[in-house]
């Protein structure tokens, strides 16, 4: 096979054995990446299993372009039944582990069972072995990373869980290096339930390319396009990119109780920290965008931070102190927690304190801090307490939906989630495309259906919409953030183009999802040249639809409801701030948009 490594590695942690099957059994129908992951999970029939049990397979999949010289070909998809939602969990990660897994000879990794002791799975070409991890169990992510480098060499690449994964925090992620994370839907908790502290890969193989000269020409052309694009320029100054949106209320403030605005100082403060402490930019394997800022704070040493999490943690915790955003993000990295869910949990606590149901001095004492600790100190300490399930952190580690059930009825209206997954900071009452993305996307997250056209506005978003939809009547409504009209078309296209990226193993940020120029026809050209079989953009979108249908069928088997306006009740009410007033989302209009989206998908 060209471009594919050719093998799927199966591992049974209970019996400490491994075997392989050919990737070619799946490529004709599913191609690779996310789609093959979903097919493997479907084969396992794991719809009613305990997410923490031995029969919940943890599946990791690269795409046919992963590890090649295609732009941003660094991605790996992670799937299992989610401990947060009980539905099909999905996350995605870049960095350098995914290419290394392919160089070792494997496209996908399927992990079953539970080890009887903490273990490291080591994959070195044809050698697959299990090494004890008692000495690193309990360590944070960077200490684990350093220990693995010392044991297996600088060339080794790893996937790691922190204390959050070990302690089965339902929103724990899987980390790789100092920059990258498969954060959402609790895949780190699934890995922790298997007592699998880390996966180490080191390969000496290479990947064949069917038409090398044509492939290189296409790669060079696309890299030039990206270097001239707005997303590339935005990555050089992310606070500048975020400020117009933040000033206009793009981010929720607190627990979906307020809005970011022009005078809150959060983005400006973050820009100042960046100016003082940034030491460089960094990128995943083969990526020209370099979305990572490397900062070196005295408290932490050098770390890589991507785009807006540093902002959303400030907003959700209602703290304008800029260093808090950076330090809380790094704390999440070290503990192996999803920054989005963690920020949401902090917002839940902020509102509960304001309501008089919780007390910051009591929380501080409960987690081992002085009762006189500042708000920022308490919330930073709470992140580690969650990861180690210490004090109130044990309840909050369950996520806001389950925490509210434990704490009492007055807490339930404060649980901002969909299907058990905490909502991200962007404010859906300000963008109807976001509201539909939160409601209709597969995991309760807006990213796959990101409504880029209304974000960019009539001029730039309109130009993209005209090029993609080829229908003048669609352009105005899809760029109007206050209407649901035609937003089902946006959801449908954006989910498909995101899924194509996840199938091929390239980063979504070089695609229209991020306002970037690499579309499905260009992706098909890369794939054709890499594997030696002709593909069109329409072919790739068909694979994406097949994958999305399979995810939907899996969620139905897991008990997902029929289409409805399924967001927290709070979002159907208005919001007033000194600088902006927003009406609530109309539940009937949202339900109508969801129905139209389902009709496009031909779902019953």
Q: From the CB of residue 112, how many other CB atoms can be counted at a distance below 10 Å?
A: 19
Q: What sign for the dihedral angle of Cα 63, 178, 420, 259? A: negative
Residue-range domain boundaries for the chain? 7-202, 251-399, 431-518+561-601
Q: Give the position of tokens 């975020």.
A: 242
Q: Which residue has the higher pLDDT, 199 or 446?
A: 199
Question: Predicted confidence band at 295 (pLDDT cuts at 50, 70, 90)?
Answer: confident
Mean pLDDT, residues 149-157:
96
pLDDT at 310: 67
109 beta partners: 9, 60
Nearest to 179 by CA among 93, 102, 121: 93
Phi, psi of 61 (to 5 degrees): -140, 130
Q: Alpha-carbon dihedral of residues 142, 143, 147, 153, nearest 10 degrees?
A: 20
Tell me the pLDDT band of 417, cut-offs 50, 70 and 90: very high
CA distances from 210 to 75, 108, 214, 257, 471 (A): 21, 21, 9, 54, 37
SS3 content of the chain, % helix, strand, coil (to 5): 50, 15, 35
| Contact indicator for 170, 189 with CB cutoff of 8 Å | yes
Strands 180-182 and 174-176: antiparallel
pLDDT, mean of residues 286-293 = 85
pLDDT-above-70 percentage for the chain: 99
- Does residue 238 surpass a pLDDT of 90? no
Share of the chain above pLDDT 90, in %: 80
- Cβ(36)–Cβ(108) below 8 Å: yes
Distances from the Cα of 478 to the Cα of 455, 464, 489, angstroms = 10, 10, 8
Q: What is the CATH number of domain 7-202?
A: 3.60.9.10
- Which tokens is 317 given? 């915790």
| β 108-112/7-12 pair status | parallel
Cα separation values, 27 from 162, 277, 498, 520, Å: 34, 46, 19, 18
Burial group, residue 472, by CB count within 10 angstroms (0-12, 13-18, 19+): exposed
Enter the pTM of the model. 0.96
Cβ-contact 287, 272 below 8 angstroms: no
Query: Architecture of domain 251-399 in CATH?
Result: Orthogonal Bundle (1.10)
Q: Is 204 exposed, middle or buried (0-12, 13-18, 19+ CB in 10 A)?
A: exposed
CA 350 to CA 345: how far, in whole Å?
9
Contact in structure between 126 and 104 (CB atoms under 8 Å): no
pLDDT at 562: 67
Q: How many helices (H) and strands (E) does the chain have?
A: 24, 21
**pLDDT band of 23, cuts 50, 70, 90:** very high
Q: What is the pLDDT of residue 308?
A: 59
- As a whole number, mean pLDDT of residues 183-212 equals 97
Q: Which residue has the higher pLDDT, 156 or 236?
A: 156
Structural tokens at position 445: 């997250």
């Amino acid at each position: 096979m060209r471009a594919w490594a050719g093998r799927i590695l199966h591992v049974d942690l209970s019996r400490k054995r491994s075997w392989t099957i050919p990737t070619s059994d799946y490529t004709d129908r599913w191609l690779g990446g996310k789609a093959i992951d979903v097919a493997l999970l479907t084969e396992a029939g794991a719809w009613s299993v305990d997410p923490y049990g031995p029969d919940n397979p943890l599946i990791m999949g690269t795409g046919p372009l992963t590890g090649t010289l295609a732009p941003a070909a660094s991605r790996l998809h992670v799937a299992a039944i989610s401990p947060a939602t009980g539905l099909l969990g999905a996350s995605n990660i870049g960095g350098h582990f995914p290419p290394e897994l392919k160089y070792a000879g494997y496209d996908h990794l399927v992990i079953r069972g539970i080890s009887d002791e903490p273990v490291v799975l080591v994959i070195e070409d044809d050698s697959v072995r299990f090494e004890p991890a008692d000495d690193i169990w309990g360590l944070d992510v960077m200490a684990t990373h350093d220990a693995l480098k010392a044991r297996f060499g600088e060339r080794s690449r790893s996937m790691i869980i922190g204390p959050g994964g070990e302690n089965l925090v339902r929103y724990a992620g899987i980390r790789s290096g100092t920059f990258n994370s498969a954060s959402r839907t609790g895949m780190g908790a699934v890995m922790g339930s298997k007592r699998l502290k880390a996966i180490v890969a080191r390969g000496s193989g290479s990947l064949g390319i069917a038409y090398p000269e044509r492939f290189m020409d296409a790669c060079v052309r696309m890299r030039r396009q990206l270097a001239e694009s707005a997303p590339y320029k935005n990555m050089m100054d992310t606070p500048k990119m975020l400020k117009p949106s933040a000033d206009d209320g793009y981010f929720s403030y607190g627990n979906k109780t307020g809005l970011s605005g022009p005078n809150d100082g959060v983005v400006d403060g973050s820009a100042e920290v960046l100016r003082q402490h940034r030491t460089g930019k960094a990128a995943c394997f083969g990526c020209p965008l370099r979305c990572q800022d490397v900062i070196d704070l005295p408290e932490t040493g050098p770390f890589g931070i991507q785009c807006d999490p540093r902002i959303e943690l400030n907003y959700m915790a209602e703290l304008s102190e800029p260093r808090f955003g950076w330090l809380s993000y790094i704390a999440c990295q070290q503990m192996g927690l999803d920054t989005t869910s963690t920020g949401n949990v902090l917002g839940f606590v902020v509102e509960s304190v304001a309501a008089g149901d919780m007390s910051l001095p009591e929380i501080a004492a409960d987690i081992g801090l002085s009762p006189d600790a500042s708000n920022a100190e308490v919330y930073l300490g709470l992140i580690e307490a969650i990861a180690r399930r210490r004090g109130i952190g044990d309840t909050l580690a369950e996520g806001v939906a389950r925490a509210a059930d434990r704490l009492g009825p007055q807490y339930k209206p404060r649980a901002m989630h969909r299907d058990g997954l905490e909502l991200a900071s962007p404010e859906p009452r300000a963008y109807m495309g976001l509201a539909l993305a939160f409601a209709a996307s597969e995991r309760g997250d807006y990213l796959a259906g990101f409504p880029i056209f209304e974000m960019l506005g009539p001029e730039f978003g309109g130009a993209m919409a005209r090029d993609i939809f080829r229908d003048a009547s669609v352009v105005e409504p899809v760029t109007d953030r206050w209407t649901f009209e035609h937003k089902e078309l946006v959801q449908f296209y954006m989910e498909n183009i995101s899924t194509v990226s996840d199938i091929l193993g390239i980063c979504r940020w070089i695609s229209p999802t991020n306002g970037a120029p690499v579309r499905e026809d260009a992706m098909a050209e890369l794939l054709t040249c890499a594997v030696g079989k002709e593909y069109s953009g329409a072919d790739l979108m068909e694979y994406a639809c097949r994958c999305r249908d399979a995810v939907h069928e899996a969620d139905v088997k897991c008990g997902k409801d029929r289409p409805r306006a399924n967001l927290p009740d709070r979002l159907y009410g208005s919001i007033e701030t000194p600088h902006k007033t927003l009406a609530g989302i109309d539940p009937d209009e949202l339900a109508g948009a969801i129905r139209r989206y389902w009709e496009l998908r031909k779902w019953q």
